[in-house]
């Protein structure tokens, strides 16, 4: 039986670390592609040379050509620029729109049956670019943000209560940004509602820290952004799809009426399996949570309108 094949587009910090994580899982060959000559080849060779130590037999290939990505079962798009000082959100979105559109065209050309996971920011808007450019069904174009945002929230709750992260059950929904929606009402620690364990004012501080999670790391690093947690979050989604786990994870998906939101990519709980999105899970939200989710969706819609204006 031939191994699965995963392509990671973009050999920067997120892409390179993701390629390592996926290669170390041992169930798929990995192709790392980037426009910078030598960068994907060097990182791929370095990862490949680590595998004998780990006893893993997969192929890791670095390339500047999409021909080597042909017939990928899954493609992760991490390529794009990070926001720089003085750059507006609109500048970022239009630059990355061009990058993601051109990448998606090549991906579709060589892997017409693949599933695409977008990681490039602004995430929710880039999913729209990939969907519209690919012409794929919405089940096969998804975005990673909710797993990461939820992981940050769970980290801070576990630290606060000094419990295992495995006992912290939570979801963060909505757009990937300031308007994300941690579902405090349903968050529990081994079945105990979190509101019984943490005072409300402290809980709101933790919620805000989760919302600011990416910015906190950017401010500390000063010359880059997070990549260990984003790559781990993406790898969990890849596992769910390629191992056909039917796992429910918060995922950026195209909503058509679910949660009262139409024709928009927003983060909600989704069952992921071999076909991509198998089911969108509709949680019973409180009135306040539903309002917050719709506010978050409105922020995403504004970004999508910037995209459409840029194309006109």
Instruction: Indicate which residue of 128, 169, 176, 308 is catalytic.
Output: 176
Report residue 76 as tokens.
């992760």
Asked if 169 is an active-site residue, the reply is no
Q: What is the DSSP string of the chain?
A: -PPEEEEEE--SHHHHHHHHHHHHH-SEEEEEE-SSTTHHHHHHHHHHHHHHHHT----EEEES-GGGGTT-SEEEE--SPPP-TT--HHHHHHHHHHHHHHHHHHHHHH-TT-EEEE-PSSHHHHHHHHHHHH---GGGEEE--HHHHHHHHHHHHHHHHT--GGGEE--EEB-SSTT-EE-GGG-EETTEEGGGTS-HHHHHHHHHHHHTHHHHHHHHHSS----HHHHHHHHHHHHHHHTT--EEEEEEEEEESGGG-EEEEEEEEEEEETTEEEEE------HHHHHHHHHHHHHHHHHHHHHHHHH-
Other Cβ atoms closer than 10 A to 259: 19
Q: What is the DSSP string of 153-190?
A: HHHHHHHHHT--GGGEE--EEB-SSTT-EE-GGG-EET
Cα–Cα distances (Å) from 156 to 150, 163, 182, 249, in that order, read 10, 11, 12, 19
**Catalytic center residues:** 176
């Amino acid at each position: 039986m031939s191994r699965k094949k995963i392509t990671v587009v973009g050999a920067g910090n997120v892409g390179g670390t993701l390629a390592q994580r996926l290669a170390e899982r041992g169930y798929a060959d990995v192709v790392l592609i980037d426009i910078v000559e030598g960068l994907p080849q060097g990182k791929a060779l370095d990862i490949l040379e680590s595998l004998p130590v780990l006893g893993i037999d997969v192929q890791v290939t670095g390339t500047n050509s999409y021909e080597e990505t042909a017939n990928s079962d899954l493609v992760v798009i991490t390529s794009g620029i990070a926001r720089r000082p003085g750059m507006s959100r609109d500048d970022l979105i239009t630059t990355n729109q061009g990058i993601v559109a051109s990448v998606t065209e090549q991906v579709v050309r060589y892997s017409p049956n693949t599933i695409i996971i977008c990681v490039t920011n602004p995430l929710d808007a880039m999913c729209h670019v990939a969907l519209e450019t690919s012409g794929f069904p919405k089940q096969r174009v998804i975005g990673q943000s909710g797993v990461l945002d939820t992981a940050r929230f769970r980290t801070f709750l576990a630290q606060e209560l000094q419990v295992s992260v495995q006992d912290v059950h939570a979801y963060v929904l909505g757009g990937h940004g300031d308007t994300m929606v941690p579902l405090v009402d349903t968050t529990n620690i081994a079945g105990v509602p979190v509101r019984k364990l943490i005072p409300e004012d402290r809980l709101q501080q933790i919620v805000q820290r989760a919302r600011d999670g990416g910015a906190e790391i950017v401010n500390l690093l000063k010359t880059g952004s997070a990549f260990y947690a984003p790559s781990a979050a993406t790898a969990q989604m890849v596992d769910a799809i390629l191992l056909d786990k039917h796992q429910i994870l918060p995922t950026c998906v195209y909503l058509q009426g679910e949660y009262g939101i139409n024709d928009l990519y927003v983060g909600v709980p989704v069952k992921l399996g071999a076909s991509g999105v198998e089911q969108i899970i509709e949680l019973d939200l409180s009135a306040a949570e539903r309002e917050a989710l719709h506010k978050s969706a409105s922020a995403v819609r504004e970004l999508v309108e910037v995209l459409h204006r840029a194309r006109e």
